[in-house]
Structure 1
Amino acid sequence: MALLEREDHGAVARLVLNSPNNLNALSDAMLADLTAALAALEQDRTIRVVILSGTGRAFCAGHDLKEMTAARAAPDGGAAAFADLFDRCARVMQAIPALPQPVIAEVHGLATAAGCQLVASCDMAVAADDARFGVNGVNIGLFCSTPMVALSRNIPRKQAFEMLVTGDFLTADRARDLGLVNRVVAPDQLGAETLALAEQVAAKLGSAVRIGKRAFYDQIEMPLAAAYAHTGAVMVENMLNRDTEEGISAFLEKRTPDWTQ
């Protein structure tokens, strides 16, 4: 049984966290598999959208606390192992927005600590209406400082800080209201609704979506004037694309575009 499974549905790839016994924790092995899978998808032009989901009772419960505790046996008390772990996890979280394809989190059950960070790192998220979201490390004495990075870039800062210091969980509806997820659906519709959203995006011009996703994350960290200058140049790049020219012509001529990408 693979720890991380990949299921392709046409131009949509579904990555499935498949470690239900530890609630799909981001163990060393899981992080390694995610790193490899994302690297492969980065080069795969047949895939236009990626879905990230999980098996069992939870989407992802965060880091593997048993592995972290075992690392304390090292002479340095685990300092080097912890630094390496958080660095590897940060690289995975950054690889998701850097991926050319949009990534949709399909969330059921619990998304806690680094699992909530994983949802926040995705470009979009669809949640079952019974899903719960938390950065609850503070409840065991470990402030969720690295999950805070992605979370505080998704929801308003006061709500993010409250979650971090209280350890309280968000309902799926509250997560949608705050902007952590896009859509909330019935549990038995979660897979179908997420796939429908993925297929809607996959039907768009792939090169335009790739250009647009990169520009989205580039500009969001820039001052206003720099963001406009950058995205203006990106729009020029997009306009000079042969398929964009064809798409505009097809719209004006009221016909289906003949896209090559």
Structure 2
Amino acid sequence: MSEEIVLLSVEDTVATVTLNHPATRNALSLELMRSLIDTFRALGERTDVHAIVLAAAGHVFSSGHDLKEVGCAEHPEQQEIFETCSELMLLIQEIPQPVIARVQGVATAAGCQLVATCDLAVASSEARFGTPGVRIGLFCSTPMVALSRAVDRKTALRMLLTGDMLSAEEALARGLVSDVAAPGELEDAAAALAARVAQASSATVAIGKRAFYEQIHLSTSDAYSRMSRVMADNAVMPDAREGIDAFLTKREPQWRGRS
């Protein structure tokens, strides 16, 4: 991991991963994406980390792909750029810990994709979101994957076909972000949400996150069939036994978490 472009800190059971290249508006270069992949993969193995906040330095969360890199690349390099981006997005949803985007400014194109991919997102009331690739002849096809799974179809297509931006409040109403906070309260709001998530059994949260993405694209009947098995498996795990007993005996549970 390059400490120059990706920073990592851990406090209690919450990790903060920071995009640290404000000079490029935190553009998702190959170097930055590979650093993020290495960071998230390592965090996914850590049992002492129960939640992750994804933040960014500077005034812009992320402007998307590095257009200087994309603009001069030949087809094999283009394929590598977009496949690496897809690997990053899939990894964020595959690791056991919930990932919470902390969006302080503009998130466009693959930067908007990054927000849409995260499990939760807290945005500053000054943040804005867009997929403006159509305006420069490069349709936001990979950002579309995450965006179309986070917001309704008409909102996604309007953003993709016009390049128009959503305000933070519009993003909240459309489901692109989960919370909006005043600029001066953003860091505390994201930290509070991460701490709330981290209070639960990490083993249970890992099961739930994996199950959510597994069932969301199944038919209703297939989802019920699969989730009935998942819930039965969950119910006999130590933390479920402990949580139920703690509830019935009116005490605080003592989680084992992921081992």
Q: TM-score, normalised by structure 1?
A: 0.96
Q: Deviations over 1:133-169 (max 9, x none)?
A: 0001111111101100000000000110010010000
Distance 1:198 1:181 in 2: 15
Partner of residue 17, structure 2: 15
Unaligned residue ranges in structure 2 (runs of 5+): none
Residue 32 (structure 1) aligned with residue 28 (structure 2): no
2:11 is aligned with what amino acid?
H
Distance 2:254 2:159 in 1: 48
1:92 is aligned with what amino acid?
L
Q: Deviations over 1:18-60 (max 9, x none)?
A: 0000000000110110110011011111000011010011000
Residue 7 of structure 1 deviates from its aligned partner by 1.1
Residue 187 (structure 1) aligned with residue 187 (structure 2): no
Among 211, 217, 220, the alignment partner of 2:213 is: 217
Residue 173 (structure 1) aligned with residue 175 (structure 2): no
Partner of residue 53, structure 2: 51
Residue 180 of structure 1 deviates from its aligned partner by 0.3
The size of the alignment, in residue pairs, is 255
Among 204, 208, 220, the alignment partner of 1:208 is: 204
Partner of residue 69, structure 2: 67
Among 128, 131, 149, the alignment partner of 1:132 is: 128
Residue 89 (structure 1) aligned with residue 85 (structure 2): yes
Partner of residue 74, structure 1: none
2:58 is aligned with what amino acid?
G
RMSD: 0.8
Residue 162 (structure 1) aligned with residue 164 (structure 2): no
1:149 is aligned with what amino acid?
V
Partner of residue 42, structure 1: 44
Taking only the aligned residue pairs, the percentage that are identical comes to 46
Distance 2:105 2:206 in 1: 31
Q: Deviations over 1:71-96 (max 9, x none)?
A: 2xxxxxx1111111100100001111
Partner SS state of residue 36, structure 1: helix
Q: TM-score, normalised by structure 2?
A: 0.97
Partner SS state of residue 59, structure 1: strand
Partner SS state of residue 126, structure 1: strand
2:100 is aligned with what amino acid?
I
Distance 2:171 2:13 in 1: 28
Residue 259 of structure 1 deviates from its aligned partner by 2.0
Among 239, 244, 247, the alignment partner of 1:248 is: 244
Residue 196 (structure 1) aligned with residue 196 (structure 2): no
Partner of residue 229, structure 2: 233
1:36 is aligned with what amino acid?
D
Distance 1:177 1:199 in 2: 24
Distance 1:259 1:42 in 2: 19
Distance 1:10 1:3 in 2: 23
Residue 260 of structure 1 deviates from its aligned partner by 2.0
